[in-house]
Structure 1
């Protein structure tokens, strides 16, 4: 079930599913620890002897207020004669989640509506040793284990504090879940439970005929009782309404701080651009880790998560944010990378948000030979992104400490980690984490990383080192053309496998070959690049009502059982956006530039109503597949829009210098 509306502040993150249930709770790191196991926190109403949880019988609209991280959720249940208008937020500063609920009575008689909230915590990711109890000092429910505390409280216009509650053992064989009690309209007032504990609270509202009543519910997260009780006191003193307003105001100021010209892009694209910036921010931990995704449903697919920092994903996010004017957001990310970089100068596959090494999916032996279990693009792209960061900020004092600890260390590894005969990088795992070999995408990344390192060396007047890195990049580029270009297919091959004096080439077409253009290795109008991109579009663009671009031929990752047999794979947002990037790069006129717009519009059409972009979508019905949101999808959208507007504006400058403004407006380019 996709996660539609994440809310967070860099320490505390909550995800809601499409039924408007809290499914993921992360604290104190974004992505670590997971305190809900992905099971739902049920939210529902009891009225006129009936209980209804926010499931299929409710018409739902799950969105955000424009340019904020405050949700705007509408629910309507015709059979109950009720509407709910809800807003959710994690305070910008305090580690407190707040929900506002407005109940609208559609009937002509006064009614008592009971709101029920069920908390199904698995503190630290497991259900042993938890405690849930009613705390008379704060008039709240508290869940705790060791140094993790969550305080649940509520208020309405007439009273503060929890007055209807129950703390119970979790549902198990022969034991009824606490939510069944709520369905009967009453909670038993049990004051404490331990072990596998859950809880529920209720709020009683008297709603006038055709009228409305409101309440607030909140969860404070901390490391001890004193911390959460102080947070609770601040909520009561400042009021939930004021905290929601100040957070809304902050995010609106944050996302609109840069004055941008979007050229002739449609409003739908601009909306997703702003939404993407905000969604990206929810996935970045305040200590620096940029997390790939925090959708716990993926655990059921492979027994692992995306709640890790990948160097590759993080680099693309950091580059996009820098280009958008948010260099400050990712400063700690580069500190994070320098801190976890190995002594030899490379990054492992991925890291936990606290900087510890995460689970590794790559073996250390391939065909009986010891190898590094790495994807070298993750190391290379950090330098590429860091140079973009510098170009955007010109903050040389920020860069200086990284010159020895990150830049030279990583670049020297890439210089030395090469085949002495072909000059290409030594085999590693590919960006899709499936194959071990020499991959054209990885080679392009290493060239881009070394060029960035050479730029930094020139910046610090280290001439000999700049020449060394430039020379190595050119040697690798020569090896790329000599060994990874398929003369028979007249395009580049996805990968090569060392054989004799050269490489046996993988002929499968892969969208990652577009990196040759978007990382600047080849000019976009180079004949080899043109033929490669033509093959990508011809073979990977889906011929279904949904369309979109797949990753590569015969991609089975998350492929639905009901998908057509003749498709290459599911359409991905990043794959589709890489096509757009290429058309932007090769454009030499406004007419050519506009060829990229349909690819951006494809993304807006396949976004969730909230603006969230998944990793991929169903090839027939467009439903989100795999994780949602995927941070990389959103950063690719931001990056592509920036590329488009930069080029549009360059065309505007060039044309206005050679014709008068009225002629330019007549062409429909401005105004």
Structure 2
């Protein structure tokens, strides 16, 4: 079943996704991509008369992050007068989720507090084993070397280990709670679930607190040790340690100033908050051992409506690590490019997508005609951008480390572009096979980057050869794909020119730099393309316009995407910075207009975030709510890029005002 989160939290080993009402949707351990151990995990209240599940529609919720942290506060209000406050955090050093429930009622109540879980440990419902250690007051479920455990404070007084099956309903822990009393079965095997129970005695406006520890480990003994040691610590101590961990990590960031935005309807503070949230979110999508990123926490593992998102694409991750570097976190580039060296295929290219440990992932890109050549171009381009930022010995060491990988990738791109346009492959949207503007632009950037690295490495012959091919690709792309209407065609499909306007054609300028605003002809091409994308791909919602991927897009109802909208605003901001500034300059009005419009798109993206500030892939074109993959790492990286560019514009404008 597809379940999209409203919030995520975790540490280096554990990633947890939750719904708006605090129900756990995903529990990923020990990596962000595998294994996902939860089918269902949430609290419920037995009032003495009936069972109230906390994810029912009868509950109203308010959910947010504690400022500058990945600690979550959820408040639930029931029509009957019951209130539940949930504080969720993951310890920064061990894979244990700690959940504090504070239950209140306007009326006196005598009932039960239950915590129910349907674990699929090892990402399977088969051959699991579960038990209740009544002496240690620990519920545990395991499969091979994956162990998931539940411990409570105060200790639970009743429990049930049962079959998660309707055919054996009388042992099923989910049904066992309905009469307000659990059977206390101690162990079972197969497709199983569990529940723990506590007495709930409330005076009018009184409160009871329950703390649930949900831990993961690779062995039974380690699980016991983790739960035992953590349960001895005061919750206030764990909370403060966790809060300090996130605050200290954020303290390394590049500091924003945004002068001149102070009076713009709280925009400055909204951007500060979005900047911090994007950084904190990307931390949680990163595999800290291998350096790779999941595109988004997996939510469609059965590939019901898509091919899944819980994998690493070089294209997305290359943009993410550069955004993090510009934001003050260079270590992500170091780890990711080491991962790229290890995952490069023998032919010199990179695969469509990978598991985080570098194994190739499920793919429909297994052949030359179905591969995504832009993944290789994007990776080479990012390596060169990172190299240009480095200084001193670090610069020399990085070039030495990546040179063989650069050489192999560049020669692969040469092989696939003999005619000036790339050979047939799959587009970046994983929808069409053909020859594409975006892919050609990525190859141009990859070969130009490789040429620069070759020159720096004393390989001038290779540098000239690769640069010549890049220039050939650029000219061929303009000659074949630029239309008199003022935009690039999508590409060649079925040997025919497809004149569909596609937002990805922005890649010819941002991020790949095939066109430059400093050239008068190319400057006009960029502006015409921006204008046509606005005209033909805008969808009005949330008081502004979002940008869909391309004309007649049918994927998930053809919604506008945060990625494409932020791509457009980034192009606008980059254009402003690429041209001379000045109140009386020849481009003054154009630069002002692009800045204003870029800010509108930026605000549109912020309006499409979850209540906790997470950026989705899309925004529902009918409701204006976050849609599909939540959160999407690519959206987060583009938000960072946009905010950093706008900060530069604000500082430049402030400097001009001071000079004036």
Give the structure-1-normalised TM-score.
0.89
Q: Which residue matches 2:72?
A: 71
Moved more, 569-578 or 112-121: 112-121
Which of 486, 490, 494 is residue 490 of structure 2 equivalent to?
494
Q: CA deviation at 1:115?
A: 2.2
Cα displacement (A) at 1:528: 2.0
Distance 1:397 1:82 in 2: 63
1:6 paired residue number: 8
- Per-residue deviation, 1:417: 2.1
Q: 1:51 to 1:458 in 2, by over 3 A?
A: same
1:355 aligned residue: 358
TM-superposed deviation, 1:270: 2.2
**2:585 match:** none
Give the 3 Å change call, closer, same or farther, for CA 398–27 of structure 1 in structure 2.
Answer: farther
Residue in 1 aligned with 2:161? Answer: 167
Which residue is equivalent to 1:236? Answer: 231
Corresponding position of 1:523: 516
Q: Distance in 2 between matches of 1:461 and 1:448?
A: 20
Please, which of 14, 18, 36 is the counterpart of residue 34 of structure 1?
Answer: 36
Note the 1:444-523 alignment, pairs <5 A. 444-487=441-484, 489-497=485-493, 504-519=496-511, 520-523=513-516
1:151 correspondence with 2:143: no
Question: What does 1:33-112 align with in structure 2 at a 5 Å threshold?
Answer: 33-36=35-38, 39-54=39-54, 55-79=56-80, 81-107=81-107, 109=108, 111-112=109-110
CA distance in 2 between counterparts of 1:276 and 1:310 reads 19
Instruction: Give the superposition deviation at 1:461.
Output: 4.0
For the Cα contact (< 8 Å) 2:21–2:74, is it kept in 1? no
1:537 and 2:528 are equivalent in the alignment:
no
Quote the Cα distance in structure 2 between the aligned partners of 1:490 and 1:454.
30
In the aligned structure 1, how far is the partner of 2:123 from the partner of 2:301? 15
**Contact 1:3–1:295 (CA under 8 A) maintained in structure 2:** no
Taking structure 1 as reference, are residues 303 and 465 closer, same or farther at Cα in structure 2, changes over 3 Å only?
Answer: closer
Contact 2:256/2:644, CA 8 A, preserved across alignment: no
In 1, the alpha carbon distance for the partners of 2:187 and 2:563 equals: 48
Q: 1:58 to 1:29 in 2, by over 3 A?
A: same
* Contact preservation (8 Å) 2:541, 2:624: no
Structure-1 separation of matches of 2:637 and 2:131? 42
The answer as to whether partners of 2:138 and 2:150 remain within 8 angstroms in 1 is yes
Write the distance in 1 (CA, Å) between the matches of 2:575 and 2:10: 38
Residues 1:237 and 1:597: Cα distance change in structure 2 (over 3 Å): same
How far is 1:363 from its partner?
Answer: 5.7
Structure 1 residue 65: Cα displacement: 0.7
Shift of 1:649: 2.0
> Secondary structure in 1 aligned to 2:554?
coil
- CA deviations 1:57-99 (Å, max 9, x no partner) are 11101211111000011111131x2211111122211111111
Which residue of structure 1 aligns with residue 569 of structure 2? 580
Please show how residues 186-201 of structure 1 align to structure 2 within 5 Å.
186-201=181-196
User: Retained in 1: the 8 A contact 2:105–2:204?
Assistant: yes
Aligned CA distance change for structure 1 residues 272 and 298 (closer, same or farther; 3 Å): farther
TM-superposition CA deviations, 1:489-540 (whole Å, max 9, x none):
34211112586xxxx3210111001111212211246222222222111010
Shift of 1:393: 4.8
Corresponding residue to 2:611 among 586, 594, 609: 609
**C-alpha distance in 2 between matches for 1:208 and 1:544:** 47
Which residue of structure 2 aligns with residue 406 of structure 1? Answer: 405
Structure 1 residue matching 2:308: 3-state secondary structure: coil
Kept in 1: contact 2:351–2:365 (CA 8 A): no
CA, structure 1 residues 219+317, in 2 after alignment: closer, same or farther (shift >3 Å)?
A: same
> Are the equivalent residues in 2 in contact too, given 1:323–1:392 (CA < 8 A)?
no
Of 353, 377, 380 in structure 1, the residue corresponding to residue 377 of structure 2 is 380
Whether the 8 Å CA contact 1:348–1:373 is kept in 2: the answer is: no
User: Counterpart of 2:643?
Assistant: 641
User: Contact 2:62 / 2:75 at 8 angstroms: preserved in 1?
Assistant: yes
Give the match's secondary structure for 1:116: strand
Alpha-carbon separation, structure 2, partners of 1:460 and 1:237? 57
Show CA shifts across 1:111-158 (max 9, x none): 4453211111112222111011012453201101111111110113xx
CA distance in structure 1 between the partners assigned to 2:451 and 2:101 by the alignment = 56
5+ residue gaps in structure 1?
365-370, 560-568, 660-671
Give the 3 Å change call, closer, same or farther, for CA 397–14 of structure 1 in structure 2: farther
Identify if the C-alpha distance between structure 1 residues 393 and 173 changes in structure 2 by more than 3 Å, giving closer, same or farther. farther
Aligned twin of 1:597: 599
The equivalent of 2:435 in structure 1 is 438
What is the alpha-carbon distance in structure 1 between the residues aligned to residue 201 and residue 458 of structure 2? 73
Moved more, 25-34 or 260-269: 260-269
Structure 2 runs not aligned, ≥5 long: 262-266, 582-587
CA distance in 1, matches of 2:425, 2:164: 46
3-state DSSP class of the match of 1:175? helix
Cα–Cα, structure 1 residues 203 and 469, in superposed 2: closer, same or farther, change >3 Å? farther
Shift of 1:262: 3.1
1:220 Cα deviation after fit: 1.2
- Tell me how far 1:234 sits from its aligned partner: 2.3
User: Aligned ranges for residues 109-148 of structure 1 at < 5 Å?
Assistant: 109=108, 111-112=109-110, 114-136=112-134, 138-148=136-146
Instruction: Tell which deviates more after alignment, 607-616 or 299-308.
Output: 299-308
Tell me the distance in 2 between the aligned counterparts of 1:300 and 1:113.
Answer: 41
Aligned residues of 1:362 and 1:373 also touching (Cα < 8 A): yes
Cα deviation, residue 273, structure 1:
1.9
What corresponds to 1:291 in structure 2?
Answer: 294
The secondary structure found in structure 1 opposite 2:45 is: strand
Give 1:16 deviation, angstroms. Answer: 0.8
The answer (yes or no) to whether the contact 2:324–2:330 under 8 Å persists in 1 is yes
Post-superposition Cα deviations, 1:403-442, rounded to whole Å, max 9, x if no partner, equal: 23422221222223212xx322222110001111221111
Could you tell me how far 1:603 is from its partner in structure 2? 1.1
Q: TM-score, normalised by structure 2?
A: 0.90
Q: Which residue of 1 aligns with 2:264?
A: none
Aligned to 2:218: 223
What secondary structure does 1:238 align onto?
Answer: coil
Would you say the 8 A contact 2:149–2:215 is kept in 1? Answer: yes
Which segment drifts farther, 456-465 or 243-252? Answer: 456-465
